[in-house]
Amino acid sequence: MKALEEEANYLEKVKEEGQINREIIYLMDEHIHRMRIAVTNRMQYRGLFILTLVKRSVYSLKKLVTSKSKHNLKKRMTKNKNIIQLKVDMSKAAIEYLKAHMTPEKEETYLLIIGEYNEMILKFKLAKTGVDSVHYMQVKREIQDKAFQAERDEIQNLFENGEITLEVTRKMRKQINIREAYWMEENSVHSH
């Protein structure tokens, strides 16, 4: 949660400096809101996840219908690059915060979170160069969705068989939700 707060603080700083436009600010605020929900409330997160999928579908249809002039394409590409750069900068701010506040007791957890941020930064940089094809991304999305659901199903089975407690079940589901939210964010760059 503290890393997420640092991302929000970085966004506020950039807003005050007037370095980004209103649309990008809105998208980043939405990102932070989704991440907070993923961390705190599972049911709200599921609803938000479905809403995000619907929005992306509508956006994809809109892209198909609108004209594909060079000007619009160039404008959209510039916007995507700005979004990617802002997400990378927010992630770097969160990493710096975690490094500065790391203690021996929290070291393992912080290093895992830092690793996730570094992986996300790498994926953002790959998205910036346009490495992945549309078909590949669709297949990857389907497989990842199935993987998240398989994890949830296995956790439920372990709980029902009495192999793990309700508290452990909740913690594991929360971790899945967080990873899924980050994964959605990483892949939303390709959809904007």
DSSP 12-67: HHHHHHT-S-HHHHHHHHHHHHHHHHHHH-HHHHHHHHHHHHHHHHHHHHHHHHS-
Q: How confident is the model at residue 47 (pLDDT cuts 50, 70, 90)?
A: low
User: If pLDDT is split at 50, 70 and 90, which confidence band does 43 have?
Assistant: low
Q: What per-residue confidence (pLDDT) applies to 169?
A: 92
| DSSP element (H, E) containing 107 | helix 107-129
Which amino acid is present at 14? V
Is the pLDDT score of 178 beyond 80?
Answer: yes
pLDDT recorded at residue 192: 47
pTM, to two decimals: 0.48
**pLDDT band per the 50, 70, 90 thresholds, residue 166:** very high
- Which of the two residues, 126 and 8, has the higher pLDDT score? 8
Q: Percentage of residues in the chain with pLDDT exceeding 90?
A: 10
Which residues, 6+ apart, have CB-to-CB distance to 182 below 8 Å?
35, 116, 120
What's the rounded Cα separation, in Å, for the pair 64 and 33?
28
